[in-house]
Amino acid sequence: MAAMHLVASDPLEAMTAGIFEAAGTPADLAAEVARHLVSANLAGHDSHGVIRIPAYLQQIESGRLAADGRPVVVHETAATAIVDANRGFGQVGAAHALQVAIGKASSAGAGVVSIRRCGHIGRLGHYAETAAAQGFISMIVYGNMGPGTGLTAPFGGARRHLGTNPWSFGVPSGETQPVVVDFATTVVAEGKVQVARAKHAELQPGQIVDKDGHPSTNPEDLYAGGMLLPAAGHKGYGLSLVASLLGAGLTAEEVPDNGVGAGVVVMAIDPRAFGALETFTATIDNLSAGVEAVAPAPGFEKVLLPGGPEAASRASRRANGVPIAPDTWDVISGAAAKLGVAVAPLLA
């Protein structure tokens, strides 16, 4: 495995914003996307960080992604809304939808917002963290499905038909850290296969199969016709299917005739609609502390709450720099130089 480059997070974020702005993205939208990507790197989820820059630039160049697309609410009720992202960056569309959902939850107790015509929304846990910081429970889900869609076969199937179809949940707290659950419905997220590929590293067994359905640990096999495996077999498949049905069903403008559909759903719940906020947060603190107090199993130092590893990674990487595989850095820094953007310096 090649040694990693280290880059300070602030210069990395500035460079990322500069790249997208030079590619035609308005400054405020470029800053939103850059903040999201580098936040994913800081949280330790490099699969959803700056490694995505080259793909986004390709999508802009091909016209698939509208660099200047701004989300708008096209339909709403007291507790629901549909946001059209206008083929813009998914991070921008999802951030807007989350604030719409929070606004509705503030007045109605809960808000549910679906997003259509939306690009890749990045790390779902980012939105759950944002909602928790504002005192709201959240659920974020993205799903896509259809013949040849995504990289995952349904349980018992031998052809690609589903995406990684992730879910995220966030629960605010008082004194303890918020609980943030974020997972793909496959054994491994496709972005993490990208990271392993960039590092020239092998995957763990049981994550992918090759084009003939044989188990593989070579990341290249996934991109040569292989497939991701659903997490926990039929259970992960069930969650993946529901993600697709909700995403497509709540954003559909007409009935599909080809089995293809996709979309994002964001939900926010205001704990105040159920009682005193102080009682809620104190309850979460008490229950969370009880989980953390469970004696660790052999090989573990302590029981962590979901979101704990991300918090630790964030502190470490802010202090020591964001590690980036040399292959990834060469492509990103090359794109910056080509667009006339200052390249962030590497740390010693």
* pLDDT (0 to 100) of residue 1: 60
* Domain annotation covers residue 220: no
Find tokens 């996307």 and name the residue: 33
Instruction: Give 115's pLDDT tier (boundaries 50, 70, 90).
Output: very high
Q: Which tens digits make up the pLDDT trace of 157-168? A: 989 999 999 999
The CATH number linked to 282 is 3.30.1370.60
Unique residue bearing structure tokens 């936040």: 39
Mean pLDDT of the residues in the chain:
96
The total of structural domains in the chain comes to 1
Q: What is the b/e burial string over 67-98, where b = at least 16 CB atoms within 10 angstroms of the residue's CB?
A: bebbbeeeeeeeebbbbbbbbbbbbbbbbbbb
- Asked whether residue 59 is domain-assigned, the answer is no
DSSP state of 63: T
Compute the C-alpha angle 133/134/137, nearest 5°. Answer: 85
Would you say residue 212 lies in a domain?
no
122: containing domain: 65-186+230-294+305-320
Inside any domain, residue 217: no
**Residue 258 CB partners (closer than 8 Å, separation 6+):** 146, 147
- Kindly state whether residue 122 falls inside one of the protein's structural domains: yes
**Mean pLDDT calculated for residue range 227-256:** 96
Averaged over 312-336, what is the pLDDT? 97
Q: Is 259 left (phi over 0), alpha (psi -120 to 50) or beta?
A: left
8 A C-beta contact, residue 342 and residue 8: no
Q: So what's the pLDDT on residue 3?
A: 87
What percent of the chain has a predicted confidence (pLDDT) above 70?
99
- Least Cα distance to 139 among 85, 180, 109, 184 occurs for 180
Residue 2 has pLDDT above 80, yes or no: no
* Residue 280 is assigned to a structural domain of this protein: yes
**In which order are the strands placed within the sheet that holds 215-216?**
215-216, 208-209, 227-228
Contact 307/292 with Cβ under 8 angstroms? Answer: no
Residue 14 lies in a domain: no
In this prediction, residue 191 carries a pLDDT of 86
| pLDDT, tens digit (0-9, with 9 covering 90-100), for 180-219 | 999 999 999 898 998 899 889 999 999 999 999 999 999 9
pLDDT, tens digit, 9 for 90 and up, residues 43-62: 999 999 999 999 999 999 99
Q: Are 331 and 54 in contact (CB under 8 A)?
A: yes
Strand 80-84, strand 110-116: pairing = parallel
Sign of CA dihedral 205, 207, 210, 213: positive
Indicate if the pLDDT at residue 243 is higher than 80.
yes
Strands of 34-145, DSSP E? 72-76, 80-84, 110-116, 137-145
Tokens coding 66: 């509208």
Q: What is the pLDDT of residues 270-288, one digit of tens each?
A: 999 999 999 999 999 999 9
Residue 339 domain-assigned (yes or no): no
